[in-house]
Amino acid sequence: MGGAWTKEFADAPDALKCNADHRTVVQAGGVTIGGGEFITMAGPCSVETERQLMETAECVVRAGARVLRGGAYKPRTSPYSFQGLGEEGLKLLALARAATGLAVVTEVMAAADAPRVAEYADILQIGSRSMENYALLEAAARTGRPILLKRGMVATVADLLRSAQCILSYGNSQIILCERGIRTFETATRNTFDVAGIAVLKEATHLPVIADPSHAAGRRSLVPALARTAVAAGADGMIVEVHPHPEQAWSDGDQSLSFAEFETMMADLVPWCELQAQFRRVAEPVA
């Protein structure tokens, strides 16, 4: 239990379990994350147009997703790449929420933007590249919105929990941790999916843990296998990229699922999620 990890994660004492049953359940826009149901967050990498977002939101809600993802502020490695629609993108996300009932998660990149993003989003995403931006962690935490904290691509599990500890120290305990793949010597995948990291986090912390098979895989054909692995490792949910025309996406098209691919993956995941729920009932019997 968390107690077994106090040495490894000494800098994140408040993120660790006090006992086997200790868990934080995050409530966001009517969705419960970490409550036993495997929650899927899905949508485009970037919000591009009203039509693209609405069509995607309608597809993912039909297929069983509970949260719509979509970037309005994009951390692009090239200054010449699409940088996101900014507030216009936030407004489109709010429109899609009103039309579908999905909760909304979107990335905040700058501390100054945190209050504005919090006006529109149910969950604020801290991206991999921002995991150690402490001013941003503080600003996001202080909005009071739940935080989806992605693991930095060169961050250890201990580093991730240190950042969670910062958010906790600002009085926000509504944190969802996200394993999205790390940099290793392997180049066949975009990042190396650290499935053991999911198991470690589930054992050590009381915070919900989700996986991002899209940014780990980097190619759409691998996404369903990584999603199954995430369920098997005990993740509380996943965040997946979906696009009406992946080959035309303005960002991350190679790893985005088409609507048909997403629907198939969701249907195929059902028995795996049922197994996970059965396993949880055995491992964590209700008193």
* Contact residues: ligand PEP, CB under 6 A: 45, 71, 75, 127-129, 150, 180, 212, 215
Shortest distance (Å) from residue 75 CB to ligand PEP: 6
Residue closer to ligand PEP (CB basis): 109 or 233:
109
Piece in contact with Mn ion (CB under 5 A), picked from 25-33, 60-68, 245-253, 256-264: 245-253
Contact partner, 127, from Mn ion, ligand PEP, none, Cβ < 5-8 Å per class? ligand PEP
Binding-residue total with Mn ion (CB under 5 A): 2
HSE of 111 in the Cβ direction (CA atoms, 13 Å)?
11
75 binds, among Mn ion, ligand PEP, none (CB under 5 to 8 A by kind): ligand PEP
Q: Dihedral (C-alpha) 73, 77, 80, 81: value to the nearest 10 degrees?
A: -50
The CB-of-287 to Mn ion minimum distance in angstroms stands at: 41
CB of 113 to ligand PEP, least distance (A): 15
Least distance from Mn ion to the Cβ atom of residue 3, Å: 36
Closest CB to ligand PEP among 72 and 233? Answer: 72
Query: Which residue has 């993740």 as its token pair?
Result: 235
CA 235 to chain centre: 11
Closer residue to ligand PEP in complex, CB, 16/92: 92
- Residue 128's binding partner out of Mn ion, ligand PEP, none, with CB under 5 to 8 Å set by partner kind: ligand PEP
3-state secondary structure of 17: coil
Q: From the CB of 22, what's the least distance to ligand PEP, in Å?
A: 27
Residue for token pair 């996001």 = 140
The distance of closest approach from Cβ of residue 47 to ligand PEP in the complex, given in angstroms and rounded to an integer, is: 11
> Considering the complex, what minimum distance in angstroms separates the CB of residue 237 from Mn ion?
17
CB-based contact 134:117 (threshold 8 Å): no
Closest residue to ligand PEP, judged by C-beta, is: 127
Cα separation, 147 vs 162, in Å, equals 14
Q: Does 48 bind Mn ion (CB under 5 A)?
A: no
Q: Is residue 194 close enough to count as binding Mn ion by CB under 5 A? A: no
Q: Which of these segments, 22-30, 41-49, 87-95, 242-250, binds Mn ion (CB under 5 A)?
A: 41-49
- Residue 252 interacts with Mn ion (CB under 5 A)? yes
b/e string for 92-120 if b means 16 or more Cβ within 10 A? Answer: bbeebbeebebbbbbbbbebebbebbbeb
CA distances from 76 to 53, 84, 130, 241, 242 (A): 20, 9, 12, 16, 18
Identify any residues that bridge with 33 across adjacent strands, giving them in sequence order: 26
Alpha-helical runs (H) found in the chain: 50-62, 87-100, 114-120, 134-142, 157-169, 195-204, 213-217, 223-233, 259-283
Number of C-beta neighbours around residue 225 at 10 A:
13
Among 31, 45, 72, 249, binds Mn ion (CB under 5 A): 45
**Cβ distance 226 to 213 under 8 Å?**
yes
Q: Which stretches of the chain bind Mn ion, using CB under 5 A?
A: 45, 252
